[in-house]
Structure 1
Amino acid sequence: MYKFFTPLLLLLLTSLTSLGNNELDSLYKELDLLIAQRPQLELQKNKEIDKFRYVMESDTTALREKYFLAMEIFKLYEVFEFYGALHFINEAIKFSKELGEEKLINDTYINLANLLIRSGIYLESEEILEGIDQSTLSNSQLIFYNLIYKELYYQLSFYTRVKHLKKSYQEKYQHYSKILLELLPEHSDEYLAIKEVQALDQKNVQEARRINALRLSRTQVGQREYSKITFLHSITYEFEKDLENQKKYLVLSAISDVKGSIKDNASLAVLANQLYKSGDLERAYKYINISYEDAHFYNSDLRKIQIADILPLISKSYEDQLIEQKLSLQVFTIVTSLLSFVLIFAFFYIRRQVNIVRKARNKSVEVNDQLKTSNAELITANEQLKKLHSDLYKTNHVKEVYIGEFLKICSDYIDKLENQAMHTQKMLIGRKYGVLLDEIKNQDVRKVEMKQFYKNFDTTFLNIYPDFVEEMNRLLDPEDPIKLKAKDLLNTELRIFALVRLGISDSAKISKLLGNSVTTIYNYRVKIKNKAVVDRERFEEYVMKIGE
């Protein structure tokens, strides 16, 4: 039982692995296609921004509307380009102060702090947050305020290398997470995001995936949240050292980033690093450079620093691979060139040998004597056939037997000529010239004898079945009968079916008797049957009845 299930299990695992690889390959193709479309996607993003910008900068636009337009443009720039986002959040701050509305002012400063944290500007972000009076914040603003503090201390704890500061930052991060869990509705995305990260911190992979799946169902590709959620999902597979699934969700995250023109991204750089570790240097090199371009475009010093740690390693490995491939190509070119010289030498050598054999064949005079002997045998055979011919009219059975014997003798004669020719060729190649004749006759003896064979066969057969041609044409389309040349008694098509009438229906035997290939015989038979006015499947049965 165990021996039976083991191969089956291996086959199943192989199939699942193959399906997984196919899915990942498809995702790579989708990502590469979107990367090729980046200029168009960026142009579309800029056009969307310009529509709002044009209205905001118009003199006819009210101050309050300008504020909301500035905030809208800021949101579009927030993950697209840092200095654009910074400019328009400062514009929104200016408009909110002119309006004198504390709620709007608080919104702008909280968003400014969030933007600075995104770029790794932690000190200024903390100063801005400390300058906000929490008592003036609405409930939604208070949640956002604490979310930013949580993110600030999460990043500080992650990036600091000072041990006692890391511990302090972690405690503050946990403090703000606890506050948020009390403020947030249990089914809100922010609440679930905190619970998911806590599950990841505790290495509770199944719980993290359960929450992640719920969050993922609420978003779609191209949104910032989709990119973040799929990135977190990849971490669960990193814990399990499942590299293929980790790469799958990193690719999904990168697809969302490129589709949404999200330049402040992390997934593409992490994916490039994993590809580098697994030896896929060409793809790793491509993705890390695109990631660096995005970081440069966004003007994020934090992202540039992160990428700078792995970019030189990938670039160096990729360049080494290119050098190795170049050397391999050079070796291949040298080997190919040497083989070409060998082939050229072999060609001329073989050509020389062929010329030697041809000259030896031209000098041969032995064949003519052998052909004369064979011709005498043929005359004897013809005399025997004439004697047989006188008895052919007794019964149809006797006629068919005699004609069959006639054909056998002629076929044996043709085989004898072919065997003689093969023997002659062997003698020439072996340079056993023997007694040579003066010259070889110019005419082709085999063709002459075949013509004589056809003439004898045609004459004999038509003496037995004088109406055979007319009877055959009655079986065929009147518009397309078999037509004979002036001097011909039968042609190849009629000879084939004459043999069929004599009971020889095997195409191989017919081809041997008539000196044609089996394919030619088959094609002639099909051609005649296609012109039949009787049932094609029974056509040869009708032929067998001719002359009865």
Structure 2
Amino acid sequence: MKYILKVLVLLLLVTGVYGADNDTLLDRLNKTIEAAPVFDAGRIKQITAWRQALHRAERADPTIRFEICRQLFEQFKVYQYDSAFAYAQQMQALAHEMNNAELSSYAGLKLAFVLLSSGMFKETGDYLADIHVALLPDSAKAEYYQLKSRFYYDLADYSNDGFFAPAYTRMGTACTDSALMLFKPHSFDYDYNYGIRYHKAGNIDSAQYYYKLTVAHTDLTWHQTAIATSSLGNIYIRRGHMDSALVLMARAAMADIRSSTKETTAMFILAGLLFKEGDVKHASRCIEYAVADASFYGARLRKVQVSAILPIIEGEKVNTVEAQKKLLFVYAAIVTLLLLALVWLAVIIFRQIRKLKAAQEVITAAHARQQEINELLMEANKIKEEYIGYCFQLNSSYIDKMTKFKKTVEQKLIDNKYGEAKFLVNNIDLREEREELFRNFDRIFLKIFPQFVPVFNSFFREEDQIRLKDNELLNTDLRIFALIRIGISDNVKVAQILGYSVNTIYTYKTKIKNKAVIPKDEFEERLMEIKAL
């Protein structure tokens, strides 16, 4: 009667909590996830205390050290595989030191447990085969048969076929029957293993009954609560009662966090249920937490299982992108404006190319009579060839650069990395881009007019000559007259290209001409006489 009343209470909770207060349940789950470091700290504190005890007992009796290692194993067995395995090995080494076959078998049982939790089936089978069951006390024998049944059931789930799986299930059931003979009737382990037995046999009604009895126990630890509620939740999933299953899996996940258990399935099963319910936000958080737990513990099998639900994260990304269309439009507009600016620069350059072409036609018409005009035409052709190639190379480079930038921004937005996308946009250094444009211009100009700087300096007294800094090809003064030399003499256009005001360009030109040793009205004529290569 006592168990029946508990089961009725549980049914009321399961059928009412999710439908009436879904947000409250998920809020509790989120708060529990946020508090996970606090619960982990509790386990770490116990681990530290036992490690200190082991250090102090370095020269103590091996029996004492064996017990301390066992306590450390219990702390790590559902927390971290590597450490659990290491302490189980120490237990076995101490048992061999004491020449105690019973403790050696017991240590082998612990090794088999942690190997199975990590998904290492072959190694688990090897250790189970080496255990002398007859040497174990009844409590350890029950643990042995329970572990062996789990081993066969896990193999059946892993193979999941019509040939090997049924045989594994039968062997698992036989081991469960042996364990049940050793458990105290109506204890947690008794009811839970009966539930497993019927569950694996496909008797869902009986499995549900015993799992409900298990959940109804009042003296459960958090870890037992997680095991019982997740097992019952799996029954509801199989029956298609998703609301009830979700409630139970959420309770199991919270219990796992409170017990600082990393070797668990409840959280990633919950993620799948939430995803099916359309709650992608909470599903994403759950799967991320499950992945982190599986990686922390070192559970190979869990990692494989979790990977099947990872598309949930991609689903959330798509949903987030849909919700952030306005922000995407803003960033796309910025990129578009930058591309338009490049097009505008290209238009200016191609206008100059057309002017050079017109000059070429004039020079060609007078070629027969004026050799000097012919030389100017050849020079103009050289400038045109160099600068057409330069223009196409520059524009191609900038278009490629902007295309890559646009793809990068789009990918950051798809990956929900809005801060990084904003950082990329804000990190565009227009000043550096202009400086790069000037450096490219200087390089191509000096390729055409390698003697431009020394010839230009010959127009001035030595103290007034232009001195370039290290790694500087041209400076602003030289660049103004370099543009004039290639035919861009209009102050407005020069100002646009160099990024100065028209008045500033006029001031620069006047100041430089005033320092020249040649007459002002001959200055630009002498400038145009500087020969190309």
Q: TM-score, normalised by structure 2?
A: 0.56
Aligned to 1:34: 32
Residues 159 and 140 of structure 1, relative CA distance in 2, 3 Å threshold: same
Aligned to 2:62: 63
Pairing 1:138–2:115 present: no
Pairing 1:235–2:200 present: no
Residues 17 and 61 of structure 1, relative CA distance in 2, 3 Å threshold: closer
Pairing 1:91–2:90 present: yes
Residues 63 and 272 of structure 1, relative CA distance in 2, 3 Å threshold: same
- Cα displacement (A) at 1:324: 0.6
Whether the aligned pair in 2 keeps the contact of 1:219 and 1:226 (CA below 8 Å) is no
- State how 1:508-527 maps to structure 2 within 5 Å: none
- State how 1:304-315 maps to structure 2 within 5 Å: 304-311=303-310, 313-315=311-313
Residues 19 and 301 of structure 1, relative CA distance in 2, 3 Å threshold: closer
Distance 1:274 1:207 in 2: 24
Q: 1:327 aligns with which of 303, 325, 328?
A: 325
Whether the aligned pair in 2 keeps the contact of 1:219 and 1:225 (CA below 8 Å) is no
Distance 2:34 2:254 in 1: 12
Residues 102 and 202 of structure 1, relative CA distance in 2, 3 Å threshold: closer
Aligned to 2:448: none
**Residue identity (%):** 21
Partner SS for 2:163: helix
Whether the aligned pair in 2 keeps the contact of 1:222 and 1:257 (CA below 8 Å) is no
5+ residue gaps, structure 2, are 1-13, 332-533
- State how 1:182-331 maps to structure 2 within 5 Å: 182-201=181-200, 204-218=203-217, 223-311=222-310, 313-327=311-325
- Cα displacement (A) at 1:294: 0.5
Residues 296 and 198 of structure 1, relative CA distance in 2, 3 Å threshold: same
- State how 1:350-361 maps to structure 2 within 5 Å: none
Aligned to 2:43: 45
- Cα displacement (A) at 1:153: 0.5
Alpha-carbon deviations, 1:340-375, whole Å to 9, x = none?
A: xxxxxxxxxxxxxxxxxxxxxxxxxxxxxxxxxxxx
Greater Cα offset, 231-240 or 152-161: 231-240
Distance 2:213 2:96 in 1: 40
Whether the aligned pair in 2 keeps the contact of 1:70 and 1:89 (CA below 8 Å) is yes
- State how 1:4-43 maps to structure 2 within 5 Å: 20-43=18-41
Distance 1:328 1:111 in 2: 57
Partner SS for 1:57: helix
Whether the aligned pair in 2 keeps the contact of 1:221 and 1:256 (CA below 8 Å) is no
Whether the aligned pair in 1 keeps the contact of 2:271 and 2:282 (CA below 8 Å) is yes
Alpha-carbon deviations, 1:381-435, whole Å to 9, x = none?
A: xxxxxxxxxxxxxxxxxxxxxxxxxxxxxxxxxxxxxxxxxxxxxxxxxxxxxxx
Aligned to 1:113: 112
- State how 1:334-349 maps to structure 2 within 5 Å: none
Residues 38 and 151 of structure 1, relative CA distance in 2, 3 Å threshold: same
Amino acid in the other structure paired with 1:29: D
Distance 1:194 1:19 in 2: 27
Aligned to 2:385: none
Higher relative contact order (CA 8 A, sep 6+): 2
Residues 171 and 204 of structure 1, relative CA distance in 2, 3 Å threshold: closer
5+ residue gaps, structure 1, are 1-15, 334-548
Distance 1:212 1:218 in 2: 10
Residues 96 and 298 of structure 1, relative CA distance in 2, 3 Å threshold: same
- Cα displacement (A) at 1:293: 0.4
Distance 1:267 1:109 in 2: 28
Distance 1:220 1:307 in 2: 31
Aligned residues: 318
What RMSD, in angstroms, separates the aligned Cα atoms of the two structures? Answer: 2.6
Alpha-carbon deviations, 1:261-302, whole Å to 9, x = none?
A: 101110110010111112111111111001000111111111
Q: TM-score, normalised by structure 1?
A: 0.54
Aligned to 1:102: 101
- Cα displacement (A) at 1:185: 3.5
- Cα displacement (A) at 1:203: 5.5
Aligned to 1:532: none
Distance 2:100 2:293 in 1: 36
Partner SS for 2:185: coil
Residues 231 and 251 of structure 1, relative CA distance in 2, 3 Å threshold: same
Distance 2:177 2:136 in 1: 19
Whether the aligned pair in 1 keeps the contact of 2:275 and 2:283 (CA below 8 Å) is yes
Amino acid in the other structure paired with 1:319: K
Whether the aligned pair in 2 keeps the contact of 1:222 and 1:259 (CA below 8 Å) is no
Whether the aligned pair in 2 keeps the contact of 1:263 and 1:294 (CA below 8 Å) is yes
- State how 1:463-542 maps to structure 2 within 5 Å: none
Distance 2:212 2:17 in 1: 22
Distance 1:24 1:328 in 2: 31
Amino acid in the other structure paired with 1:106: S
Aligned to 2:176: 177
Amino acid in the other structure paired with 1:309: A
- Cα displacement (A) at 1:101: 2.0
Distance 1:84 1:209 in 2: 35
Residues 261 and 221 of structure 1, relative CA distance in 2, 3 Å threshold: farther
Amino acid in the other structure paired with 2:28: E
Amino acid in the other structure paired with 1:227: A
Whether the aligned pair in 2 keeps the contact of 1:272 and 1:288 (CA below 8 Å) is yes
- Cα displacement (A) at 1:66: 1.1
- Cα displacement (A) at 1:151: 0.8
Amino acid in the other structure paired with 1:322: T
Distance 1:224 1:331 in 2: 49
Residues 230 and 18 of structure 1, relative CA distance in 2, 3 Å threshold: closer
Whether the aligned pair in 1 keeps the contact of 2:17 and 2:25 (CA below 8 Å) is no
Residues 273 and 117 of structure 1, relative CA distance in 2, 3 Å threshold: same
Amino acid in the other structure paired with 2:314: K
Distance 2:148 2:17 in 1: 43
